[in-house]
Amino acid sequence: MQLYHNPRCSKSRGALELLRERGIEPEIVAYLEQPPSPVELKTLLRKLGLPARALLRTGEAEYAELGLADEALGEDALVEAMSRHPRLIERPILVAGDRAVIGRPPERVLELL
């Protein structure tokens, strides 16, 4: 299992704690330090079963600065923006094989166990 994790985020810390309480030590993906490529993001979106817009953090400054609320922007443009500005990626995300889930609330990560 991989956990796309931001240690400064309480939801992300909560998801990691829930996993560890169950004896699971996921591989930590420090996506803010090493942003996923557009190809990696598209794979992640496929595993989540979500469109790119559903993975965007709309409250981040970059969201407004980059004009990402524009509904005319396609998947590729949104994926590229998230790859270049990883703070835009919703977190935490737990990946298990071909499935993934956004841990909001953190208890959602338990769906993959």
Gap between the Cα atoms of 43 and 39, Å rounded: 6
Predicted local distance difference test score (pLDDT) of residue 82: 98
**Where does the chain show beta strands of DSSP type E?**
2-4, 27-29, 93-96, 99-102
For 41-61, what is each residue's pLDDT tens digit?
Answer: 999 999 999 999 999 999 999
Provide the annotated active-site residues: 9
The domain of 57 spans 2-112
Number of structural domains the chain divides into = 1
> pLDDT for 68-78, tens place per residue?
999 999 999 99
Three-state SS at 74: coil
Q: Return the CATH number at 76.
A: 3.40.30.10
| Total-model pTM | 0.94
Q: How confident is the model at residue 5 (pLDDT cuts 50, 70, 90)?
A: very high
As beta bridge partners, residue 56 has 89
